[in-house]
Structure 1
Amino acid sequence: MRIVFGLLLIISIGFLGVKIYAFNTERVLQKEKLGILNAEIDKGISENESLKADIQYFMNPYNLEKELRSKFNYKKSEEKMIIVVPDQ
């Protein structure tokens, strides 16, 4: 009877050891995933702040017009546009 109890105890301890190892491995993997997700969240937060700053900048009509003029060659209807090409 003692031998059977001893074998059951050894098998139980071995089983628990394997399960603890599996749980620890899973914990490490989940911790790595959490780190990656936290980095993505931080990136999203910084991008959000940048977009908020851009929105504030473009809320001013003068800044919006300035950007339209520089990027899209925007001009008012009463203006004439002259494009100067530098010598090479």
Structure 2
Amino acid sequence: MTNTPWEASSGLYKKLAIGSIVISATGIILALIGANTHNRPLMYTALGIIGVGLVAHLIGMTVRARDARAWRVSQGLIKPRPAKRNKNTPGDRA
């Protein structure tokens, strides 16, 4: 990885990061407009839009953490996680 996370990040992370910023900014602008015009339905809609932006941000953070872990495994800095056992495979059952 390079010194900046943006250069080393995946395209999905970049799309989610920029998308969450745009969505949240849209919600903030709508909330300000709704507050200044005393339009409650617009303010409540803006809160929902801000919430969608926050969810997109959390998904982006999850993708970034997954990408960082995959990079550390590829560099040999940490061990890969063991494979999960398949419940459908016959094995020793107690």
TM-score range, shorter chain: 0.3 to 0.5
User: RCO (CA 8 Å, sep 6+): is it higher in 1 or 2?
Assistant: 2
Report the structure, 1 or 2, having the larger helix content.
Answer: 1
Query: TM-score if structure 1 supplies the norm length?
Result: 0.43
| TM-score of the pair, normalised by structure 2 | 0.40
